[in-house]
Amino acid sequence: MDEFKFNEVKDVKWESITPEDGNIKFRKNRGGGSRNFLKAIALILVSAITGGLSGAYVVKKYNTPKTNYYQNANLTQNNTPTTESPKNAINKVSETVGPAVVGINNKGESFWGTVEQGSGSGIIFDANGYIVTNYHVIEGATNVSVKLASGNVFQAKLVGADKRSDLAVIKINANNLPTAKFGDSSKVRVGDLAVAIGNPLGEEFAGTVTSGIISALNRTMQYDGAIYKVLQTDAAINPGNSGGALCNENGEVIGINSLKIGPEAKAEGMGFAISINEAKGIIDSIMNYGKVKRPGLGVKGQSVSSKDGSIKGFYVNEVILGSGAASAGIKPTDIIIEVDKTKINSFEDLAEVLDKHKIGDSVSCKVWRNGSEKSFKIVLSEMKETDK
């Protein structure tokens, strides 16, 4: 602040007042009145200026906005971060697997011509254009188109399908495609991170990523003729996610999204994916043979239970001519109650036992016939699509 010097201003000197001729008279201080008056005016002006400047200083000092110490020094004027946030596990999974997940459109013929029958998702597992999806995604299709994450669209042909597992392999004419890595679903634990990638509700929501956890392991479900061995997750799975990828935090596919239990069952967060270990053998069989070769007894039938629950098993409606069951002496109306020393209460139980064997194996079998048990040895043959 600038300093101001003041000249000393002496007091105005007034002469003493004395009576004269009865009147009061003032004597002038020669040459000093005007000067003293001017000095007084100058003093007032200087005081006014000084006060104004001092006041301005005080106002400026105490009203200057303080620095906003909460302002992030790393932000520019438009509040855009100058550096990216570190990637989390879901970011990494999305970037790794997302390019290998495709959209699938299913078209069929009707009275009105070619119509869209539905849409779903698929996973590229071979760079030469091989894609795995659910069978129900391409079922009944006369035309299947595939849209890549890049936006390119290709026509696809069916390599092979398996209705029982609800899996199919299709192929597009393309090379050097991004592929997804299959993991090991036997190492999955309840509570592990689960990331679902697919195209729920069609192309408009292509590449949707949802996340949750693994809710349960080794579920077995039967729906519309298919038997599912699945992982349960609370990651959101919606129509169109079918055939898409369920991934672990390492960016490996651990399941193929297939089913959900919806609000009609008053349930939320219950989605299911075919475990990838279950799918691997089916994919290999389709790639090698164009179908899945499974061992079978050579019978057709259904699950039954007596009224009192004492007898449960698989009721034989028909025995396939030339099958292992026919050769062993199995007859219609027999109830298969045990195979390979395992109690059979339903078709699912029978299928689970047979899946542990291969074509040509011999298994023990017990049936309930006319009120008593009978034992047989059956050589497993290749199960036809219409067999059980």
Active site residue ranges = 136, 166, 242
Question: Which of 176, 169, 89, 154 has the alpha carbon at shortest distance from 123?
Answer: 169
- Run of H or E including 226: strand 226-233
Tokens of 110: 């009707």
Task: Yes or no: say if 347 and 312 are a contact pair by the CB < 8 Å rule.
Answer: no
The count of other CB atoms within 10 Å of the CB of residue 265 is: 9
Residues 6+ positions from 39 with CB-CB distance below 8 Å: 9
3-class DSSP state for residue 26?
A: coil
Q: How many other CB atoms are found less than 10 A from the CB of residue 279?
A: 25
Helix (H, G, I), strand (E, B) or coil at 91: helix
Half-sphere exposure of 42 (CA within 13 A, CB side): 12
Task: Find the distance separating the first CA and the last CA of the chain, reported in whole Å.
Answer: 102
Q: DSSP readout, 259-284?
A: EE--GGGT--S-EEEEEHHHHHHHHH
Q: At 231, is the secondary structure helix, strand, or coil?
A: strand
Residue 140 is classified by DSSP as: T
Cα separation, 243 vs 258, in Å, equals 6
Cα separation, 36 vs 159, whole angstroms? 118
Dihedral over Cα of 339, 340, 346, 348: its sign: negative
**Cα–Cα distance between 272 and 226 in angstroms, integer?**
14
User: For residue 345, which of 315, 376, 384 has the smallest C-alpha distance?
Assistant: 315
Q: Which helix (H) or strand (E) holds 208?
A: strand 208-223
Q: And the tokens for 61?
A: 């000092």
Q: How far is CA 131 from CA 81, 121, 125, 215, 319, in A?
A: 40, 10, 6, 27, 36
